Amino acid sequence: MNYMDGKELTIRGIVLGALITVIFTAANVYLGLKIGLTFGSSIPATIISMALLRLMGGGTTLENNMVQTQASAAGTLSCVFAALPALIMVGYWHEFPYFVTFLVTMAGGMTGVLFTIPLRRALVTNSDLPYPEGTACAEILRASSPEGDADSLRALTAGSLVSAGVAFATSGLRILSDGFSVATTAGSSAFRLTGSFSLALLGTGYLVGIGGGIAMLVGVLMAWGVMVPVLGHLTPSAAPLAAASGIWLHKVRFIGAGAIAVAAIWTLLTLAGPVAKGLREALSISHRATEDETDRDLSPRIMITLSVGVAIILTGLFTNFLWPVMSHGAPLLTLVALGVIACFGLGFLVASACGYMAGIVGSSSSPISGVGIIAIIIISLCLWGLESSGILSVTQRPLAIAFGLFMLSAITASAAISNDNLQDLRTGQLVGATPWKQEIGLLIGCVTGALVIPWVLQILYQAYGFVGAMPHDGMDPAHALAAPQPALMAAIATGILTRSLDWNMLEIGALLGIGMIVADLILRRRKLAMPPLAVGMGIYLPPEVSVTIAIGSGLVWLLRRFPQERGTMIASGFIVGESLVGVALAAMTGATGSADTIAISLPALMRSGLGWAVFAGVCLWFARKVRQSA
């Protein structure tokens, strides 16, 4: 087929990917620091690169795929916003030093690319994980190619237009409610069920399928039907409903994080064989000589060279970080060694967990912050052990906290890249791309993204400041960026090293994770399944995310007797339309400083009624379109 032939990795594609990178990286860093959320960049990058390559002429599907691979990797690298600002919040940094920030972001991202090479074979080539966003990207590329099916393209376009219109009316004009919430109380206990009217989440659920959707819904019911009410009863409040959100945020999410940690470790143990096989094949010269071009990774020599180079960069960064404030002996060498080992050892485990979760629910919904919590806990415990053994003194505790957060920055970059890269590699697999060329594009994306991120962080910090950390006197704290994830990471690191962190919720979550693993093993004997990692994600993620994904997975189950091709295209279109509108509204928010620039004031009851009517109408329209395909 023509769209699988011709140019793939080109100079103009690299330049185009770099230009798109600047936009997405800046938007994601701003949104992440302001509200703690980012948008997936793969699909918008696919659409934009497709349009620009058509204007230039001579573009191919594979070249377009390469542009989105590079741009989405760079946009995803912006997730370092979840760690780096914490160094300012704890008072160790007073600005973002450009070259240090650039190098730690780039090196961390490159480790993520290197980790995805053996993971590609285990989690993409030899796996049935759905990768909803990667599948959606592939459907866009195939439908828009000259050989693409006209009916598929119409279905994709229809889904995109419907989703874009609903997203604009919801998040832009604010004339539609963005979700629903049903709540009640019993004494001091509060029960709540919340859902979103997001069509992107609905489409994600359709692509995820019934198994993952039910598991996430079970997690929601455990969190809001059991945990929040029980904890509310144990800590009575005069306003149970108001207190419920705080209980979930500060207690139940940590139960979810503990469950995710145990479930992720179990998942990685079950994947140990395929991952080891993938690593052997990636490093095997004889296997490389016989494999097909569409299954060939970077050569072992390049992988080893890159690994050594990244290790040298990280060693230099950690030494530079500690040198001015620490004696130049065994303690410094110990901390530097800990940092490098953590980035490659813990980093690989974290990247594997994030990649697996992205395969279940997509990159945008994958709880990177939850995995970040696990990583900073492990790092802080190691530093606590060094302090207890006398290698670090109590007076060096602020340095230990800062160094832990600095290590976390590199690991977060690695996890974010792995989270996105496996989606991109799944897209490449579906359209016949060459893995080693995609991996080069991913490495280039790490460099271009890292060039932009320090500049954006510094500008935002100087313009707004962070809550509790203002760069100049006289600045208005009301305009400060909340930076919720960095604040949480700083609080956890400080709590562990000052011996003040409450471990109860994490321990409960770990025990729950073990119970879920046992339950899943029992169910699998009866040819059923309840993926423990998906249940943990249902506890940790905001309930509106998991509930709407479950609704989407319910749709695919109800329509299981009909051909699914058109449904897959419409569901992919739902993700596309909302993603593009999200990018446009993010740009508008950044330019005007307000998210309500074009909002129309309507009574809340009217907005809710319209939201319900539109969401239900779209679900019925979706079902009708799928049934017509029969």
3-state secondary structure 378-389: HHHHHHHHHHHC
Whole-prediction pTM value? 0.73
Instruction: Convert the pLDDT of each residue in 182-230 to its tens digit.
Output: 889 888 888 988 998 989 889 888 877 788 889 889 999 999 999 999 9
Nearest to 433 by CA among 1, 2, 121, 8: 8
Give the separation between CA 300 and CA 310, rounded to whole angstroms: 15
Residue 308 has what pLDDT? Answer: 93
Bridge partner residues of 179 (DSSP): 196
3-state secondary structure 231-253: HHHHCCCCCHHHHHHHHHHHHHH
Task: Show the beta-strand stretches assigned E in 482-552.
Answer: none
Domain ranges of the chain: 2-148+295-382+394-486, 150-271+503-628
Extract the tokens encoding 208.
């995820």
Residue 290 has what pLDDT? Answer: 47
User: End-to-end alpha-carbon separation of the chain, Å?
Assistant: 27
Nearest to 444 by CA among 64, 18, 7: 18
Give the separation between CA 560 and CA 558, rounded to whole angstroms: 6
- Which residues are CB-neighbours of 620 under 8 A, at least 6 positions away? none
Instruction: Convert the pLDDT of each residue in 65-82 to its tens digit.
Output: 888 777 777 667 777 777
> With contact defined as beta carbons under 8 Å apart, do 38 and 21 qualify?
no
Mean pLDDT of the chain: 81
Q: How many CB atoms neighbour CB 477 within 10 A?
A: 9
**Helix, strand or coil for residue 329?**
coil
Residue 595 has what pLDDT? Answer: 66
Average pLDDT over residues 518-546: 85
Bridge partner residues of 192 (DSSP): 183
Higher pLDDT: 617 or 366? It is 617
